[in-house]
Amino acid sequence: MSSENTSTVIQGDSVAFVVGVPVLVHLLSKPEQAAFSTRIVEVSLHTFSISIPYDDGKILLWPVGARIEVSMGGSEAVSLVFPAEIIGRDITGNHSYTLMRPTSVSRSGRTAPASAGAATSVRVIAVTSGKGGVGKTTLTTNLAVAFAAAGKKVVVIDTDLGTANVDVVLGLSPKYHLGHVVSGQKGIMDIALPAPGGFMVIPGGSGLQELTQLSESQFTRVITGFNELDGRADMILLDTGAGISRDVSNFLLASDEIVFVTTPEPHAMTDAYAIIKVMHTLHSNAKKRLIINKVEGDLEAGIIASRLTRVVSQYLNEEIEFLGGVEENKAISRSLKKQCPLMLMDPDCVSARNIARIADKIIGLPPPAPKGVSGFVRRLIDVFHPGKK
């Protein structure tokens, strides 16, 4: 945040954010704990900062990602109460926490616990593969259509840093990407594109390549941007790059669930095992699942899946759940040429029925304690920007 914002008054939801305004804060995870007095020290369009409070002469170091309740007006005239999340902290300069601006406030009383935890229902699912050419992006977009048809709010984020092509597969022409969010020119919802089938696409572009080199203010904008998805998505699908690069593994580590896509081709199987092994080595605790694409039928899919899951169990002592197979079909290539998802162009073909079955299975599976958008953002900080704790 730049210094010119330090005297700004910003109105929103009848709240005036002014430098110097006293506030009371307390951790939502510890409702029995007393509230602590502090003041607003900086204000920007989407965020504001407060001085880190003290307790009995000791600074209260709360982690990035902690959810707190903010009472505007301090101890003498509390008038507005809202939940906020710590998205950054400065413990070497002005000793402050950076918080997201609220989307809603109340005039009195404490925030209901359900409100504080509402974001945790969002599932972040990364779809990845050990090599290119296995149909990962096509599968991701068609799963998004199937999820949307089942009544889910779906956002697909194109995180392929090399050959981002979700927009190409869907016939979209994005004008903006995450780079414009980093620069402050646009918000996440400004760059989001409606896709055929009823879901949203977030183009990655060059913005994702810069995640490891962002300044404090730029990273705050990215965090704030991703948090705009809170309440707008039930499922976030990450279409990752192929292979085992550091960029790919970072997005996988930030996800709640990982769907590995492979084909019966031997090299694809070998590469799929390699990326599963990388995740095992990096101690990923995401729920791992498997789809066999481009198969001749359920029998071949089952045989291939059995081979791979057996090797993973034997050598990595880890379980990977088989979701199903998708048959090779000429309708898929026709849908790609027309830049229209198979689930819309030919929903009754065998491949579309396979995808619909897999989508239903994913929806029905118990998610691995999803931490929602804020949890995803915290993990992105950990893997892409470890210095921002």
What DSSP string runs through 121-146? G-EEEEEEESSSSS-HHHHHHHHHHH
Which neighbouring-strand residues pair with 199?
195
> Structural domain boundaries of the chain?
3-116, 119-384
> Are 3-116 and 119-384 the same fold in CATH?
no
Q: What is the pLDDT of residue 211?
A: 62
The total of other beta-carbon atoms located within 10 Å of residue 9's CB is: 10
Q: What is the pLDDT of residue 210?
A: 61
Q: Are strands 36-43 and 47-51 parallel, antiparallel or unpaired?
A: antiparallel
Q: What is the pLDDT of residue 261?
A: 97
Distances (CA, A) of 127 to 40, 164, 277, 288: 41, 14, 16, 10
Q: What is the pLDDT of residue 14?
A: 41
Distance CA 262, CA 289 (A): 11
289 close to 320: Cβ distance less than 8 angstroms? yes
CATH class name, domain 119-384:
alpha beta
Q: What is the pLDDT of residue 385?
A: 64
Distances (CA, A) of 369 to 27, 66, 285, 375: 21, 17, 11, 11
Distance CA 362, CA 302 (A): 17
Q: What is the pLDDT of residue 47?
A: 80
Residue with tokens 């902290």: 89
Q: What CATH number does domain 3-116 carry, 3.30.2270.10, 2.102.10.10, 2.30.110.70, 3.40.50.150?
A: 2.30.110.70
Residue with tokens 């998708």: 326
Residue in 115, 195, 104, 113 with CA at minimum distance from that of residue 154: 195
Amino acid occupying residue 82: F
Backbone angles phi, psi at 329, to 5 degrees: -155, 140
Backbone angles phi, psi at 131, to 5 degrees: -145, 165
Is pTM beyond 0.85? Reply is no
Per-residue pLDDT for the chain (389 aa), expressed as one digit of tens each? 333 333 333 344 445 678 878 888 988 887 777 788 888 888 876 688 899 988 877 788 888 878 888 887 644 444 578 888 888 888 877 788 988 777 555 544 443 333 333 344 789 999 999 888 899 999 999 999 999 999 999 999 988 765 668 888 999 988 988 778 777 788 888 899 999 999 999 987 655 556 656 666 676 777 777 777 877 888 999 998 877 777 788 889 989 999 999 999 999 999 999 999 999 999 998 999 999 999 999 999 999 999 999 999 999 999 999 999 999 999 999 999 999 999 999 999 999 999 999 999 999 998 777 667 777 877 777 777 665 54
Residue with tokens 């492979």: 262
Distance CA 35, CA 55 (A): 10
Q: What is the pLDDT of residue 76?
A: 44
Q: What is the pLDDT of residue 116?
A: 37
CB burial readout 117-144, b (16+ within 10 A) else e: eebeebbbbbbbbbbbebbbbbbbbbbb
Which neighbouring-strand residues pair with 154?
235
Structure tokens at 369: 């304690």
